[in-house]
């Protein structure tokens, strides 16, 4: 299976873009109070370390999301999760409901605990936990992709650019790009695994993400081995092809001065090439005042991508730390679903977002890469933008 690119799967013809107001309204409908005995009953079935916590009966402490968001996710996957007859049952013989199955899958993805630990906590065998989680992943791929998409209207893009500008004044910026590594523990004795060996001597899989000002993923690609550098992953992405062909970042230009127009662009660190649509910071010694000022603004703006990836790994801990012998064909799909869940929490305005500590370090132990590839046109435009931001660009 090749790398997963965000939104590669075609949407059904009947699927329409979900307006934020419609989404909130739908959430209100599906978040009607559940029978009181579901969570009470489910929490009583929890055993092991979870049952010993003083907050073991607090829903949010177990699933890291609110009941409103949980109910919305259930509504998304209901058709696919219940379409097939299943014999999933707890140790007491009781069959799992839709809520039960979603709860088990979310706990697996959010805790990162082993199948055996999840099974022991919920009274299930390892095989059942694995099958339920995979059925949930498949359902989310089918039903939740509309939560991860590039802005589709000029008004949406203008709103996004306005929010980026408010961070530190970068005009016409449309996204921040970054890369993180999903570290794996796989047999070193197998020569075929060498492709996954990265520069830090760890086996890893790459996730590249483009993020908006609210830390929402707008475009992702995952599945490439850690042995590839950041620039090569970018060049093999669908986003790169679309931008190079003028089919993305092709919206309204901003006039900086007479004869100087600034096109739409994204920002990334020095691991990426400097391109007309991707601005990287200046590096090296002897930077001018306007170049140093540009770097400060650039760093503050691209911080949203670092925070988004850090939060992704912190909340969905199945991809945090070192994964033990993962299925490398299934892992990209699990990463995609974790990104979808990350976006859903933001789209639902889940109050638990603000309770998650913010971090900037999503790739502990990895050193900053430096790409020497520089497009001359991009270099000239970056310099003009830095002068404009410092008030030194002639009108």
In this prediction, residue 44 carries a pLDDT of 72
Q: Taking Cα atoms as reference points, which of 275, 253, 279, 276 lies closest to residue 267?
A: 279
H runs (alpha helix) in the chain: 20-30, 36-45, 49-52, 59-63, 67-82, 98-111, 115-122, 126-143, 154-168, 230-235, 238-244, 289-315, 331-347, 376-389
In this prediction, residue 83 carries a pLDDT of 84
Residue % of the chain over a pLDDT of 70: 87
Domain boundaries, the chain: 19-143, 150-389
The answer to whether residues 191 and 212 touch, using CB atoms and an 8 Å cutoff, is no
Question: What is the C-alpha separation between 262 and 378, in angstroms, rounded?
Answer: 10
DSSP character string of 12-52: PTT-----HHHHHHHHHHHTSPPPHHHHHHHHHH--THHHH
Query: Does 18 score more than 50 pLDDT?
Result: no
Average of per-residue pLDDT across 92-113: 92
Average of per-residue pLDDT across 372-379: 97
The answer to whether residues 255 and 355 touch, using CB atoms and an 8 Å cutoff, is no
Q: How confident is the model at residue 234 (pLDDT cuts 50, 70, 90)?
A: very high
Query: Does 2 score more than 70 pLDDT?
Result: no
In this prediction, residue 354 carries a pLDDT of 67
Question: What is the C-alpha separation between 121 and 106, in angstroms, rounded?
Answer: 13
Angle between the N-to-C axes of helices 331-347 and 126-143, in degrees from 0 to 180, rounded to the nearest 10: 60
Average of per-residue pLDDT across 227-232: 96
In this prediction, residue 37 carries a pLDDT of 52
Question: What is the C-alpha separation between 284 and 279, in angstroms, rounded?
Answer: 16
In this prediction, residue 3 carries a pLDDT of 63
In this prediction, residue 26 carries a pLDDT of 43
pLDDT tens-digit profile of 197-222? Answer: 999 999 999 999 999 999 999 999 99
Can you read off the two tokens belonging to residue 96?
């799992």
In this prediction, residue 102 carries a pLDDT of 96
Can you read off the two tokens belonging to residue 80?
């696919």
Q: What integer best gives the mean pLDDT of the chain? A: 88
In this prediction, residue 87 carries a pLDDT of 78
In this prediction, residue 384 carries a pLDDT of 96
Average of per-residue pLDDT across 84-89: 78
In this prediction, residue 60 carries a pLDDT of 81
pTM: 0.88
In this prediction, residue 304 carries a pLDDT of 96
Average of per-residue pLDDT across 144-165: 97
**167 contacts: CB under 8 Å, gap ≥ 6:** 213, 300, 301, 304
In this prediction, residue 55 carries a pLDDT of 52
Can you read off the two tokens belonging to residue 78?
């209901």
In this prediction, residue 71 carries a pLDDT of 93
The answer to whether residues 276 and 265 touch, using CB atoms and an 8 Å cutoff, is yes
């Amino acid at each position: 299976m090749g790398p997963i690119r965000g939104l590669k799967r075609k949407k059904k013809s009947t699927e329409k873009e979900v307006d934020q107001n419609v989404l909130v309204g739908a959430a209100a409908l599906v978040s009607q109070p559940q029978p009181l005995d579901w969570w009470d009953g489910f929490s009583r079935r929890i055993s092991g370390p979870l049952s010993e916590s003083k907050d073991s009966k607090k829903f949010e402490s177990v699933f890291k999301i609110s009941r409103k968001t949980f109910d919305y996710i259930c509504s998304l996957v209901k058709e696919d999760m219940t379409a097939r007859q299943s014999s999933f049952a707890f140790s007491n013989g009781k069959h799992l409901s839709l809520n039960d199955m979603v709860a088990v899958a979310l706990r697996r993805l959010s805790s990162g605990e082993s199948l055996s630990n999840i099974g022991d906590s919920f009274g299930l065998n390892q095989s059942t936990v694995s099958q339920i989680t995979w059925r949930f992943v498949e359902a989310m791929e089918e039903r939740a992709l509309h939560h991860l998409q590039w802005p589709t209207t000029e008004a949406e893009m203008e709103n996004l650019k306005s929010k980026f500008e408010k961070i530190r004044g970068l005009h016409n910026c449309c996204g921040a790009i970054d890369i993180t590594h999903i570290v794996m523990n796989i047999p070193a004795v197998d020569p075929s695994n060498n492709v996954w060996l990265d520069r830090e001597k760890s086996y890893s899989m790459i996730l590249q993400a483009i993020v908006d000002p609210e830390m929402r993923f707008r475009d992702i690609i995952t599945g490439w081995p850690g042995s590839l550098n950041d620039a090569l992953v970018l060049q093999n992405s669908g986003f790169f092809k679309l931008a190079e062909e003028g089919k993305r970042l092709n919206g309204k230009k901003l006039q900086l001065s007479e004869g100087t127009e600034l096109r739409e662009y994204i920002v990334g660190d020095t691991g990426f090439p400097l391109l007309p649509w991707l601005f990287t910071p200046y590096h090296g010694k002897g930077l001018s005042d306007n170049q140093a000022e540009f770097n400060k603004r650039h760093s503050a703006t691209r911080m949203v991508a670092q925070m988004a990836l850090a939060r992704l790994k912190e909340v969905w801990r199945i991809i945090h730390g070192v994964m033990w012998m993962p299925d490398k064909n299934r892992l990209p799909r699990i990463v995609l679903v974790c990104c979808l869940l990350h976006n859903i929490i933001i789209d639902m305005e889940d109050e638990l977002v603000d309770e998650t500590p913010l971090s900037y370090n999503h790739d502990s132990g990895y050193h900053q890469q430096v790409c020497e590839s520089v497009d001359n046109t991009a270099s000239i435009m970056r310099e003009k933008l830095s002068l404009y931001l410092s008030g030194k660009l002639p009108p």
